Amino acid sequence: MARLVIVSNRVPPLRESGAAAGGLTVALQEAVKRRELLWFGWSGESSDSKEPRMSSAGNTTHALLDLTTAEHRLYYSGFCNGMLWPLLHYRFGLAQFRRTEEEAWRAVNRRFAEALIPLLREDDTIWIHDFHLFPLAAILRELGAKQRIGFFLHVPFPPPAVFAALPRAEALLKDLAAIDLIGVQTDEDARHLAEAMQQQGVDTPVGVFPVGIHAEGFARIAEAAVGRKDGIRFQESLSGRRLIFGVDRLDYSKGLPQRLAGYADLLKRFPQHRGKVTFLQVAPISRGEVSHYRMLRRELDEMVGRINGEFAEVDWVPLRWTTRPVQRRTLAGFLRITRVALVTPLRDGMNLVAKEFVAAQPPEDPGVLILSRFAGAAHELEGAVKVNPNDPDEIAEALDLALTMPLAERKARWRQDFDRLVEAGPSGWSRAFLADLNRAEFAAPG
Ligand code: ADQ
């Protein structure tokens, strides 16, 4: 099989460290286990060095570029996280456009392309990931790349009228003509993106490839984690109370204030649950250099204090809150003993935590997933209790429903979703995308 070249902003460590990881990392690790692979991206480090650092293990080679501190600030914190991320999550009001940042973004994409070109072989297949690298394929073509190029968008694509708010959106959309196949998570994203491109005369094919997980593997990790020392300690700390659990990066797309308000509404409107549940929300700080993230953190710290102040008893803390990272294995153990998972993003490309929760459940006594209808995962997980994450009252009602749901119904809802995840398989996503890319008509020039 020809070599696969993956390009993404961040690249996971060569050997799995077990530490916290983003969704892209998790999804791709399953994808590429048995193939010769070059993975190209940002090292995560800042320096003035212009050469990629190479390292290999088994059939995988990494080529990692440092960014300068200015590039990091303008390209990553600025244009990617301050402009594109809110825009793509339908939050234009939070977006800040600065032309210098957009220019730095294009310049970093050019630097990626220039460093990648000499590493390429004629028969490579190139697979570019996510919004950080929208213009990369066009620059690679300009520099002569004739290989097949695929692109996957992990986050949502908003309606064209929302996207049009981005200055020079047209140039970005025209760059997508250089790609042979674009993959997105849902039908809705595909419709929006195809329509936006059509308005610019671009007809790159768009396919729907929902990112999956290794459900059976995750189930094994979760089961083992419960019996470990920290798993036992945590379970004992619950004193037999039912666990409501949420885990997200601390991000305004995840609907955390509405979720906490929903839990407070549960305690207010359904007082029978007081003292019988504990809600643990894990939300490691991310993108702390962007001001909206710092503001959100302050808002949440305050809400947690207020909710605990209002409802706590001397021997019961209703809400446990941590912004520290948690090991993936520990997380899996928490998910397994969770009675109700709260996954309520205001918008999410897919949301792998929802799928991991389903995978982690004990078949004889599964918990209930409360899932935002605006997460990509909602299109697949039919057994979940769906909510509009903007409405704390609806979240409170869903919590009451989930906490009182009879075992037979919990089992039936869980079974259909678990079977579906297993059927999709750990590498179904990447295999389907790469097979379609292989069949796609070539956009390569000359
Ligand atoms: P992310 O925004 O990173 O990914 P998500 O899909 O939830 O979000 O994946 C997060 C992954 O990291 C999961 O495997 C989860 O277990 C882990 N994780 C989340 N919070 C964690 C924490 N606090 N500590 C440790 N691990 C944590 C992007 C898109 C998503 C899309 C993925 C994959 O934003 O919508 O699902 O890519 O395409």
Nearest CA owner, ligand 1 atom 38: 154
The residue whose two tokens read 């998570």 is: 185
- pLDDT for residue 210: 96
Please give the number of the atom of ligand 1 that sits closest to the Cα of 284: 23
Closest CA to 203 of 446, 440, 445: 440
Mean pLDDT of 197-202: 98
- pLDDT for residue 290: 86
List domains and CATH numbers for the chain. Answer: 4-212+427-439 (3.40.50.2000), 215-424 (3.40.50.2000)
Q: Is the CB of 282 under 6 A from ligand 1?
A: yes
Decide if pLDDT at 32 tops 90: no
Q: Where are the alpha helices (DSSP H) in 44-98?
A: 69-71, 85-88
Nearest CA owner, ligand 1 atom 2: 23
* SS3 (DSSP) at 381: coil
Please give the number of the atom of ligand 1 that sits closest to the Cα of 352: 6
Nearest CA owner, ligand 1 atom 37: 23
Share the mean pLDDT of the chain. 94
Between CA 211 and CA 423 the distance in angstroms is: 13
Strands (E) across 193-276 are located at 206-208, 242-247
Decide if pLDDT at 6 tops 50: yes
| Sign of the torsion angle spanned by Cα atoms 62, 67, 73, 79 | negative
Between CA 50 and CA 204 the distance in angstroms is: 32
CB 71 within 8 A of CB 49: no
- Cα 93 to the center of its chain, rounded Å: 21
Other beta carbons within 10 angstroms of residue 90's beta carbon come to 18
- pLDDT for residue 17: 41
- Residue 309, classified by CB atoms within 10 Å of its CB into exposed (0-12), middle (13-18) or buried (19+), is exposed
Between CA 94 and CA 83 the distance in angstroms is: 8
Nearest CA owner, ligand 1 atom 32: 23
Decide if pLDDT at 40 tops 70: yes
Q: What pTM does this model have?
A: 0.95
Q: Is the CB of 397 under 6 A from ligand 1?
A: no
Residue 167 has φ and ψ, to the nearest 5°, of -60, 135
Higher pLDDT, 214 or 130: 130
Q: How confident is the model at residue 440 (pLDDT cuts 50, 70, 90)?
A: confident
- pLDDT for residue 208: 98
CA of 19 to the centre of ligand 1 (A): 13
In sequence order, the β-bridge partners of residue 341 are 245, 369
- pLDDT for residue 18: 40
Mark whether 154 is an active-site residue. Answer: yes
Please give the number of the atom of ligand 1 that sits closest to the Cα of 377: 36
Mean pLDDT of 234-243: 97
Q: What is the pLDDT of residues 74-93, one digit of tens each?
A: 999 999 999 999 999 999 99
Q: Is the CB of 247 under 6 A from ligand 1?
A: yes
